[in-house]
Amino acid sequence: MFSLVTKWQDSGINQRDFCDRHDLSIYTFHYWLRRYKQEYSSSENGFMAVEVNPEKLTTHKYGYVQIIIHYYVFFKIITYICIK
């Protein structure tokens, strides 16, 4: 059922229409959506650890970090890294 939740997230349609198209009860969908969020939530306080692999960095590097929170919400942080 988690695959249906991700399919809904990618679909761009509301939950009711998605359930109608997949012959699924809205209550069943909400149950699995709640389980999905519990399984894949980052942490209790809303923060998630991010690790940088130093082997992939050069002495001077432009780059960006993109964090996708939901289908329509994301952050893109442009960085300049200088390793000494």
Number of domains into which the chain is organized:
1
Task: Give the Å distances, CA to CA, from 67 to 5, 34, 58, 70, 76.
Answer: 20, 22, 22, 9, 6
Do the beta carbons of residue 29 and residue 37 sit within 8 Å?
Answer: no
- Is the pTM above the cut of 0.75? no
Find which of 6-10, 40-44, 59-63 is predicted with most confidence, using mean pLDDT. Answer: 6-10
**Which uninterrupted H or E stretch holds 73?**
strand 73-82
Q: Does the pLDDT of residue 84 top 90, yes or no?
A: no
* Cα–Cα dist 28/70, whole Å: 21
- pLDDT, tens digit (0-9, with 9 covering 90-100), for 46-82: 666 666 666 665 555 666 666 666 656 666 777 666 5
pLDDT of residue 9: 87
pLDDT of residue 77: 72
Which structural domain range is residue 60 located in? 2-82
DSSP state of 43: -
